[in-house]
Amino acid sequence: MPKPSIAERLDQGIEAMLGFGSPPSPADVQVQELLRIAAELRALPRKEFKENLKADLQRSSQMPTTTVSFIREGFHTVTPYLVVKGAAEVLEFARQAFGARELLRVKRPDGGITHAEFRVGDSIIEIGDANEQFAPIPCAIHLKVEDVDAVYERAIRAGATSLFPLADQEYGERAGGVKDSAGNHWYIGSPLGETHFLPDQRSVTPYMQVEGAPRCIDFLKRAFQAEEVMRHQTADGIVRYAKIRIGDSVLEMGEAHEPFPAMPLNLHLYVPDTDAVYRQAVAAGATSLREPVDEPYGDRSGGVRDPFGNTWWIATHIKDVQF
Amino acid sequence: MGWHFPGEHVEGSKEADERLLVEAAQVDPARFADLYESHFERVYAFIAGRVCNRAEAEDLTAEVFRQALQNLGRYEWRGVPFAAWLLRIAANAMADRWQRLAREGEAPPELPDEAAREDIERRALLFQLLGTLAPDQQRVLVARFVEDKSIRDIGQELGRSEGAVKQLQFRALQNLRARIRRIHPTPKPNAAGGRRAHA
């Protein structure tokens, strides 16, 4: 029987080193020398590790030395972002109906709105005109106000259509719902008696109507470390209503049903480390829309769509920029 | 003067170059990337020779470079090579982790002695030289030793017979040995002993 080639003998030794088969003869000096090199290669880092760490370090080195909060001033962890046809009309409607105060408006050359921000009560809402890249995403928002009757009345006068009339609800809220010209839902309510509103719940709470609410809650926990604060569920597992906390913000959720079909949200989410949360969201089942990049407006931001159709613009504020 | 890696102390210009790199990074942290590229393999080789799995070696290496970037302003030249400063951070990071995990009966890692330093240097060189091999040779070694793939799986991936993959593996290791000998003519394999990261 012919002697195996040196490549064969070497592989036999490698197999033994990896825990299979028997070691080659110690007298095979040439093989032993290569095996020592092979043994050292067992300690090599993963191929992508060096580049990934370099990229992480480069990001940290570009962070400004003066500390800025990872949430832009005036914002909270979660902010609804309305992408609509006719952003200017929605802004005017919010001004008339809810006393919204416009904070920023960046116009397109054709007069449309690239990006605008307005304040309602203690919260900010962002808005922009839909375009070829971004299709309209009307959202549902729960507005907490002091005098729901007056606000509901003003909303109707400002051009909204009623979704449901004003009524005292047994869960501790007097509420009415309207739809604006762009299709956004506004559920307007004032606390009543023993209310479901949390003590720190702000004026604006995004309301997520989804198909498969329990799975959506699980996703939010895995992707964004969400905390489930409240869940009302029927005996057959339908989530009628849930409150979810992410960072300093509260989200509300209900299983989609007639006449309120699924209405995914478009949300701006501030986190301490965009890249880490982006990766976490993708690992939890979200689809990448855009990998994180440094934006000229001072945020590092990336986008994902979750399996329930909600869009999340994950961001870390890295420097203050004067608009 | 502090200790040095073999060959470092005799090359005055190399020392001066590195000093410039450090000073540039102290002014502009974005320049830290150059220092990272020069020292990654060395720091990783030091740690990988002392911890029991790859994930832990990577984790500690990341910690060392993050700390180095954060504390770069505190580094003063004073004749101590930057590599020695990095390995001091690495030794401390490993000692901290040992302490946290309370690994009874195990001695915490210390700074390497002369023989161990040669071993680190040689292994760091080996890791760097891997990148100079032909792409198919690099691929077979990474697949075999990092990804724990069998000859059959690698053959399927590369569209080659098992015999051809064994030949490729042999040639790759032979080339590595030749290149190491050219740069580092007196190999001292396994000088440091200890455990190797390979999980």
**Each residue of B60-113: pLDDT tens digit?**
999 999 999 988 888 877 777 899 999 999 999 998 887 777 655 566 666 777
**Same domain? B68 vs B12:** yes
Q: Quick one: pLDDT at residue A213?
A: 95
Q: Quick one: pLDDT at residue B44?
A: 95
Is residue A318 over pLDDT 80?
A: yes
**Same domain? B67 vs B12:** yes
Residue range(s) defining the domain that contains residue B3:
1-111
d(C-alpha B81, C-alpha B121), whole Å: 14
Domain boundary, last residue among B111, B128, B144: B111
**Same domain? B72 vs B133:** no
**Same domain? B165 vs B99:** no
Mean pLDDT for chain B? 81
Domain boundary, last residue among B85, B111, B137: B111
Nearest by CB to residue B198, choosing from A8, A10, A42, is A42
Residues A258-287 have pLDDT tens digits of 878 899 999 999 998 898 899 889 999 999
Q: How many CB pairs under 8 A join A and B?
A: 107
Domain boundary, last residue among B94, B111, B128: B111
**Same domain? B137 vs B64:** no
pLDDT one digit per residue (tens) for chain B, 199 residues:
233 343 334 345 667 778 888 888 887 888 899 999 999 999 999 999 888 788 889 989 999 999 999 888 888 777 778 999 999 999 999 988 877 776 555 666 667 777 788 888 888 999 989 989 999 999 999 999 998 899 999 999 999 999 999 999 999 999 999 998 887 665 444 433 444 455 4
Residues A36-66 have pLDDT tens digits of 999 889 889 988 899 889 988 888 777 554 4
Spell out which residues of chain A touch residue B40, defining contact as CB-CB under 8 Å: 50, 53-54
Query: Domain with B156 in it: what CATH number?
Result: 1.10.10.10
Spell out which residues of chain A touch residue B177, defining contact as CB-CB under 8 Å: 33-34, 37
What was the ipTM of the complex prediction? 0.81
Q: Quick one: pLDDT at residue A305?
A: 97
Residues A95-118 have pLDDT tens digits of 999 999 999 999 888 889 999 999
Tokens of A48: 């992508």
**Same domain? B26 vs B82:** yes
Q: Could you tell me the pTM of the whole model?
A: 0.54
Query: What is the DSSP track for B40-106?
Result: HHHHHHHHHTTSS-HHHHHHHHHHHHHHHHHTGGG---TT--HHHHHHHHHHHHHHHHHHHHT-TT-
Q: Quick one: pLDDT at residue B179?
A: 92
Spell out which residues of chain B touch residue A38, defining contact as CB-CB under 8 Å: 145, 173
- ∠ CA A35-A20-A7, nearest 5°, is 40
Query: Domain with B58 in it: what CATH number?
Result: 1.10.1740.10
Does residue A212 contact residue A192 with C-beta atoms inside 8 Å? no
Spell out which residues of chain A touch residue B44, defining contact as CB-CB under 8 Å: 45
**Same domain? B172 vs B100:** no
Beta-carbon separation of B146 and A46 below 8 A = yes
**Which residue(s) pair with A137 in the sheet?**
A83
Q: Quick one: pLDDT at residue A68?
A: 67
d(C-alpha A128, C-alpha B52), whole Å: 53
**Same domain? B84 vs B150:** no
Radius of gyration of chain A (CA): 27
d(C-alpha B199, C-alpha B55), whole Å: 8
Beta-carbon separation of A43 and B190 below 8 A = no
Residues A58-68 have pLDDT tens digits of 887 775 544 56
Beta-carbon separation of B146 and A62 below 8 A = no
Is residue A79 over pLDDT 50?
A: yes
Which positions in chain B have a beta carbon within 8 angstroms of at least one beta carbon in chain A?
Answer: 29-30, 32-33, 36-37, 40, 44-45, 48-49, 54, 57-58, 61-62, 65-66, 69, 123, 126-127, 130, 141-142, 144-146, 148, 151, 163, 166-167, 169-170, 173-174, 176-177, 180, 189-190, 196-198
Q: Quick one: pLDDT at residue A77?
A: 94
Q: Is A212 left (phi over 0), alpha (psi -120 to 50) or beta?
A: left
The third-level CATH classification (topology) of the domain covering A78-317 is 2,3-Dihydroxybiphenyl 1,2-Dioxygenase; domain 1 (3.10.180)
Show me where the domains of chain A are located. 78-317
Spell out which residues of chain B touch residue A39, defining contact as CB-CB under 8 Å: 196
Structural domain total, chain B? 2
* Angstroms from B66 CA to nearest CA on chain A: 7
